[in-house]
Copies of this chain bind each other. A is one copy, B any other.
């Protein structure tokens, strides 16, 4: 099943006809990470995101209790329109669900956060070789020793990064291209030595798949949207709901609208 628009994909997800990963779907439409928290945790999370805009670039926040989007997509239902959800209780993954209507509470606030799919399209348009796309695998992601800024109950969270290797001359181009997309992680947070940011073995990512790094290539690290899940594992909110990794929210807005 290949969908042309975000609306088509969301309709199929709502009916539980489509339950797959969203990579390569609805080309050109923005995809986003989801975080849902009860209001008392949500305000702290929003401050956490404001202080850590590279891993947590907010592109939409719902009003308390309102499950419908207004900005990324016109009136999408955040409870049903994503192909798969993860439910965390006290920081532990508790359930994987197709919809979360039964769990929705009047004090829930949803957050949509920019996703690297958007800037990867820009890298491809700039004729750069995005290794995990070439190798048809998931981007490698690593827990680092880069500390996120704390906010209220969200403390001592290590930043999670994604890595894409490039030839030296292409590193500059990759920085230039992604710098113009601050709403979807923006420019990299680190280039070069993986040891320097606390990664013991670049061939063993904490999430996703390893990719080939050729002789003479430089590892380029971007802040990653898995960081909020890491924050939840550390802070252990009683209840937090996210999309399942790779099963993103797909909006009506185009990637290009998130370019500065």
Contact B260 A182 (CB under 8 A): yes
**Which residue of B43, B46, B47, B182 is within 8 Å of A182 (Cβ)?**
B182
Nearest-Cβ distance from residue A98 to partner chain B, whole angstroms: 28
Nearest-Cβ distance from residue A26 to partner chain B, whole angstroms: 24
C-alpha spacing A125/B40, complex, angstroms: 45
Flag whether A42 is at the interface (Cβ < 8 A): yes
Q: Produce 1/0 per residue, A242-260, CB < 8 A to B.
A: 0000000000000000001
Flag whether A236 is at the interface (Cβ < 8 A): no
C-alpha spacing A51/B58, complex, angstroms: 10
What residues of chain B lie closer than 8 Å to A70, measured between beta carbons?
Answer: 149
Asked whether A71 and B51 contact (CB < 8 A) given A151-B63, A260-B260, the answer is yes
Which residues of A43-62 have CB atoms within 8 Å of chain B's CB atoms? 43-44, 46-47, 50-51, 58, 61
What residues of chain B lie closer than 8 Å to A260, measured between beta carbons?
Answer: 179, 182, 260
Flag whether A173 is at the interface (Cβ < 8 A): no
Interface size of A in residues (CB-CB distance below 8 Å): 20
Contact B43 A50 (CB under 8 A): no
Contact A58 B63 (CB under 8 A): no
Nearest-Cβ distance from residue A177 to partner chain B, whole angstroms: 14
Contact B71 A61 (CB under 8 A): no
Contact A50 B58 (CB under 8 A): yes
Flag whether A89 is at the interface (Cβ < 8 A): no
Nearest chain B residue, comparing its CB with the CB of A151: B63
Among A63, A64, A71, max chain B CB count under 10 A is at A63
Nearest-Cβ distance from residue A178 to partner chain B, whole angstroms: 12
Asked whether A152 and B58 contact (CB < 8 A) given A43-B39, A182-B260, A260-B182, the answer is no
Can you spell out 10 A-B residue pairs with CB atoms less than 8 angstroms apart? A39-B43, A42-B43, A46-B46, A46-B47, A51-B61, A51-B71, A64-B152, A70-B149, A182-B260, A260-B260
10 new A-B contacts, CB < 8 A, other than A43-B43, A43-B64, A46-B46, are A44-B63, A46-B47, A47-B61, A47-B63, A51-B61, A51-B71, A63-B152, A70-B149, A179-B260, A260-B260
